[in-house]
Amino acid sequence: MSTLVLGIESSCDETAASVVRDGREVLSNIIATQIPWHKAYGGVVPEIASRKHLEFINPVIRKALDDAGVTLDDIGAVAVTYGPGLVGALLVGLSAAKALAYSRNLPLVGVNHIEGHIYANFLAHQDLEAPLVCLTVSGGHTTLLYIEEMGDYTIIGQTRDDAAGEAFDKVSRVLGLGYPGGPAVEKAAQTGNPNAFRFPKALHGELDFSFSGLKTAVINTFHNAGQKGEELNINDLAASFQESVVEVLTEKTMLAAEKKNAKNILLSGGVASNERLREVLTAACKDAHKTLYFPPKVLCTDNAAMIACAGFYRLKKGNIAKWDLNADPRLGL
């Protein structure tokens, strides 16, 4: 008999719900984005995020059930993100999930948001097998993981300062390209020259990352030109910045795969939707006779299908949450 898991995600600025069959088949995937409300501030405003989640959560869950053509009677478990993320935002999804699970006598499964990003790959690639090296690149994380078997994660590299997505967002804001920064910088970079500027790449030869020096160098280049009244091609700057980030991510991921002797490499998180990163990493993997997997774009950024998928595998292991499960803004893997 198959199991339908209702996934709920509200850790940042996306209110999402999804129904997934047996951790594999996405029956619905509803994402209500709050971008229009945060845009004016150039980033996510936590208080606005919590209030919007509260407004969106019930209609989003209802639509997820409707689109899947099911009712709560068909659901076998409720999986919800309980961290990491914004505490007020997390609490909205968590409270909704608890209320539904308790009233329907369903198992409640707590999911780590970052584990969710990794599991997005399992929705797209049915044949994935550990051991794997996984690069998770999102708004809050830049992490290299060694996955000996699913559920068993070792952090082998991480950022010492900014996350890759955060660097995209900050550079975008300074260059006046808008929010969210990743897609805006990528668009500008399409018509820019990636070799126009050379920027520093920190921690060469190590598995840890540092993006704050690169970010500052880009911002200083922009401001210096402004002060001198020089014309500066924003698209060239965006392309050169993106190229540096992609080069660093690729070099370290390949180094990790080599060190761990892993044949399969996973890419996950919002920055995984970057076309240039996909292209360069795919080429590097081909050269090294390794296989790269990444989810379709809609499953790279925040969504609840990935949470339902990760939740299904937790459920199978008997990993059911207690009713006092709390939001944990700094939850680690």
Ligand X SMILES: Nc1ncnc2c1ncn2[C@@H]1O[C@H](COP(=O)(O)OP(=O)(O)OP(=O)(O)O)[C@@H](O)[C@H]1O
Interface with ligand X (CB under 6 A): 11-12, 84-85, 113, 117, 138-141, 165-166, 168-169, 180-183, 186, 269-271, 273-274, 301-302
Binding map of Mg ion across residues 79-118, x = CB under 5 A, - = no contact: ----------------------------------------
Size of the site for Mg ion (CB under 5 A): 2
Longest dimension (CA), the chain: 69
Binding partner of residue 93 among Mg ion, ligand X, none, CB cut-off 5 to 8 Å per kind? none
Region of 61-69, 72-80, 136-144, 162-170 interacting with Mg ion (CB under 5 A): 136-144
Binding partner of residue 169 among ligand X, Mg ion, none, CB cut-off 5 to 8 Å per kind? ligand X
SS in 3 state form for 131-183?
A: CEEEEEECCCCEEEEEEEECCEEEEEEEECCCCHHHHHHHHHHHHCCCCCHHH
Of residues 119 and 199, the one with the C-beta less far from Mg ion: 119
Minimum CB–partner distance for residue 254 and ligand X (Å) = 19
Among 255, 302, 307, 314, binds Mg ion (CB under 5 A): 302
Of residues 101 and 119, the one with the C-beta less far from ligand X: 119
- Name, in order, each residue with C-beta under 8 angstroms of 180's C-beta and a sequence gap of 6 or more: 35, 168, 169, 172
**What order of strands is seen across the sheet that includes strand 264-268?**
152-158, 142-149, 132-137, 264-268, 291-293
Q: Verify binding: residue 136, Mg ion, rule CB under 5 A.
A: no
Minimum CB–partner distance for residue 113 and Mg ion (Å) = 6
Of residues 28 and 138, the one with the C-beta less far from Mg ion: 138
Binding partner of residue 141 among ligand X, Mg ion, none, CB cut-off 5 to 8 Å per kind? ligand X
Minimum CB–partner distance for residue 321 and ligand X (Å) = 20
**What tokens does 123 get?**
């929705």
Measured between alpha carbons, how far is 184 from 133 in angstroms, rounded to an integer? 28
Measured between alpha carbons, how far is 271 from 43 in angstroms, rounded to an integer? 16
Q: Verify binding: residue 138, Mg ion, rule CB under 5 A.
A: yes
Cβ(106)–Cβ(77) below 8 Å: yes
Cβ(78)–Cβ(50) below 8 Å: no
Minimum CB–partner distance for residue 20 and ligand X (Å) = 18
Residues for the chain: how many in total?
333
DSSP annotation of 1: -
Minimum CB–partner distance for residue 302 and Mg ion (Å) = 4
- Name, in order, each residue with C-beta under 8 angstroms of 50's C-beta and a sequence gap of 6 or more: 86, 88, 89, 91, 92
Of residues 284 and 300, the one with the C-beta less far from ligand X: 300
Minimum CB–partner distance for residue 292 and ligand X (Å) = 17
Q: Verify binding: residue 273, Mg ion, rule CB under 5 A.
A: no
Cβ(206)–Cβ(195) below 8 Å: no
Binding partner of residue 274 among ligand X, Mg ion, none, CB cut-off 5 to 8 Å per kind? ligand X
Measured between alpha carbons, how far is 241 from 235 in angstroms, rounded to an integer? 10
Answer positive or negative: Cα dihedral of 322, 5, 141, 285: positive
Region of 40-48, 138-146, 215-223, 229-237 interacting with Mg ion (CB under 5 A): 138-146
User: Which residues of this chain interact with Mg ion, rule CB under 5 A?
Assistant: 138, 302
